Chain A
Amino acid sequence: MSIHNQSKPHLEEDDILQAVIDDKDLSALQQQHLGECAQCRQRKAQLEQELARLGQLAERYAPKPQKRIVLAEQKIRSPLLNWRIAFSAAAVVAVVLVVWGTGLIQDQRQGSIGNLAQDMVEAERLMTQINALVENALPQVYLDIVGETGLNLDEDFLEFLIPTNESAARISAPAKKGSTSC
């Protein structure tokens, strides 16, 4: 306190600012002075009036809002947000398609590999049967009747039984008329 009024000093400018912010922050002595001194109260009131006027003018010179608040959330979505949502949805769909497509291809591959293996097994079985028939065309029942199962016939004997064309020609050649042998 520097400015003196009779016996009690007046509040300084800093104290007036302090009082405007919160007069409870002043010391008890300063608060007492403020309560008693009309001059200090006037200084404080003037500053408060200026600040109140500041708020009033700000409100007065601000344009009035012309739009009411609408709580529909779609209204605040910016185009950018919509693009983000669309892009996210497209990305999710793409991922799902890729995953699903990959699974489908794998299933198809696995299916085709399985079929191929089965065909090969069947072909091998068929070839075994054909080979067996080539070896001996008679069914097992007839082989049992003729008692020739398990016979080991050599090639000379088979040649004797079923001569080839070449051996047949060699055998029949000396019987021709007019031919001589050396």
Chain B
Amino acid sequence: MTPSTHNAPGSQTSDIQLAELVKQASDGNRFAFEQLIDHHQGDIYRMIYYRIRARMDAEDLTQDVFIRAFRSISRLREPDRFRSWLFRIAINRVNDYLRKKKVRSIFKSADEKPDMQPEPSQTPEQPEALEQVLKEDFWRQIGRIARKLSKMEREVFMLRFLDNLNINEIAQTLKKSDSTVKTHLYRALAKFKKEKALRQFLQEGIT
């Protein structure tokens, strides 16, 4: 079963309902927390996948994020910040993962680095060849611009335009002020504007 997404049509849950679920989960209501999982799992999984590009590891990390959240949700004082709190846990887990991967890669020889290879096509429902080429090209372009951004620029850019968080949520997630987030976002957008190839790729999809 594919988990629902945050903005999935027909499964909209109001902010008030979500806040109520968070309160119930804080009181130890497991069922309420499972509903929160259903609501946020897709967003958190994708957020992790965008950063590590390994499906199975992204699934494991997603599970880990929700288990950590379940353990510590009683300490969450503001239920309306649940989403940004969840993203913060996810970012920390991703950073841990990337750090460990970097350390492991030091001790591996060049021919023992399967993680560095692009993720192979996995299922019989894999897209057609053209779609596959476009997909690989897209991630290559994303990788190229990601390398040109500083760590903070990359993080705010991805949170804003790939993960669809608003400025306030990004600020809460990264524990920065709104103005700091906007400054980094502005710099990232300026670099994005110079990426002709990526912009052309995107414009072809729009027209």
Contact = CB atoms under 8 A, between A and B. Distances in A.
Interface stretch (B15-23, B39-47, B82-90): B39-47
A63 B167 CA distance: 27
Contacts of B62: 65, 69
Interface residues of B, number: 47
B80 interface: no
B199 A25 contact: no
Interface string A66-85: 11111101011000000000
Interface string A44-55: 000101111111
B contacts with A: majority SS: helix
Interface in A33-68: 47, 49-59, 61-68
A3 interface: no
Contacts of B135: 61
Interface string B162-202: 11100100000000000000100110011011000001001
A155 interface: no
A53 B2 CA distance: 22
From A18, A54, A75, name the one whose CB has the most chain B CB atoms within 10 angstroms: A54
B63 to A, nearest CB: 5
Contacts of A68: 1, 3, 41
A116 to B, nearest CB: 59
Contact of A53 (B50, B164, B206): B206
Contact of B70 (A59, A63, A65, A71): A71
A71 B70 CA distance: 8
A116 B118 CA distance: 81
A65 B42 contact: yes
B78 to A, nearest CB: 23
Nearest to A64: B2
A17 B34 CA distance: 39
B193 A22 contact: no
A21 B188 CA distance: 11
Nearest to B139: A61
A75 B179 CA distance: 41
B186 A69 contact: no
A65 B164 contact: no
B206 A50 contact: yes
B202 A54 contact: yes
Given A17-B186, A59-B46, A71 B139 contact: no
Given A22-B167, A62-B46, A76 B186 contact: no
Interface of A: 13-14, 17-18, 20-22, 25, 47, 49-59, 61-71, 73, 75-76
12 contacts: A14-B190, A17-B190, A21-B185, A54-B161, A54-B162, A61-B134, A69-B3, A69-B37, A71-B30, A73-B71, A75-B63, A76-B64
Interface of B: 1-3, 30, 33-34, 37, 41-42, 45-46, 49-50, 55, 58-59, 62-64, 66-67, 70-71, 119, 122, 134-135, 138-139, 142, 161-164, 167, 182, 185-186, 189-190, 192-193, 199, 202-203, 205-206
Given A21-B167, A58-B142, A59-B46, 19 more contacts: A13-B193, A21-B182, A21-B186, A25-B182, A50-B199, A55-B164, A57-B202, A58-B46, A63-B55, A65-B3, A65-B55, A65-B58, A65-B62, A66-B59, A67-B59, A69-B41, A69-B67, A71-B34, A76-B63
What 10 pairs between A and B have smallest CB-CB spacing? A61-B135, A53-B202, A50-B202, A67-B59, A65-B45, A63-B55, A51-B161, A17-B189, A58-B162, A69-B37
